[in-house]
Structure 1
Amino acid sequence: MRFHTRKWVKPEDLNANETLFGGRLLSWIDEEAALYSIIQLENKKVVTKYMSEINFMSTAHQGDIIEIGIEVVKFGKSSLVLKCEARNKMNRETILTVDNIIMVNLDSKGKPLPHGKTKIEYVKDRLAEEEDD
């Protein structure tokens, strides 16, 4: 799994137990899944349809750095299925895993739009293709 994003746990990210609030982490994951999908599908109109069971395994504290990893599980007709792991960079402990996050590609009217993608594409490869044209 490639870890694309890092977040610094600040006082406003803590719950009453003075550990990382799970809702804050889920918000970061949802944003990262959207950004990843927008880049892969080359469309700004991508939404979260589904997030499977979330398995919290450990926590983080103020000052810790969280890494969020995203990996493609499957390309659907108009969707992209991802899995995610968030870990504490300071101690390498997994904080949570999400096995399935379904992101849907939309048209200008908000309806599912087939994307025609079948494999992961990297921006550097797209740039190389543009230079070859």
Structure 2
Amino acid sequence: MELVTQHLVQPDDLNYHNNLFGGKMLSWIDEGMAMYVMNKIRYTNIVTMSMDNVVFRSPARAGDIIQIYGKIVKYGKSSITSRTLAITNHPQTGKMSAVIESDITYVCLGENGKPTAYFRNFTPPT
């Protein structure tokens, strides 16, 4: 997997119990992985279709660094699926913990806003 993006958990990112909001984490993952996919396929008109098997395994707190890793795992006619892994990296201790591992599927849209068979003649990068 490749490092896709990193975020520093700030106090404004926390819920009442001082854990990172789950929605904030999902937003970081979706945005980072979408940009990763766009760069890999050289196409930008994509939308998120699904985030599968999202399970929060451990919390993140203020001062943690969230590192998001990804890789492409499957191409369809108009869709592409990536696997992502988000971990917390505690800068003072060096301890790392898995937070989320999930598959995210994006769909390529044409000019009409409908799915387009972008991958019909696509050669995946090596």
TM-score over 0.5 (shorter chain): yes
Which residue identity does 2:81 align to in structure 1?
V
Which residue identity does 2:97 align to in structure 1?
E
Of residues 97, 101, 106, the one that matches 1:97 is 101
Q: CA RMSD in A?
A: 1.3
User: 1:4-15 alignment to 2 at 5 Å?
Assistant: 4-15=4-15
Kindly state the Cα deviation for residue 49 of structure 1 after the two structures are TM-superposed.
0.6
Q: For the Cα contact (< 8 Å) 2:85–2:98, is it kept in 1?
A: yes
Q: For the Cα contact (< 8 Å) 1:3–1:69, is it kept in 2?
A: yes
Unaligned runs of 5+ in 1: 122-133
Distance, in Å, in 2 between the alignment partners of 1:3 and 1:11 is 24
Q: For the Cα contact (< 8 Å) 2:4–2:33, is it kept in 1?
A: no
Unaligned runs of 5+ in 2: none
Residues 63-98 of structure 1 show CA distances to partners (whole Å, capped at 9, x for unaligned) of 110000111110111111111110012221101111
User: 1:10-25 alignment to 2 at 5 Å?
Assistant: 10-25=10-25
Q: Stretches of 4+ moved more than 6 A in 1?
A: none
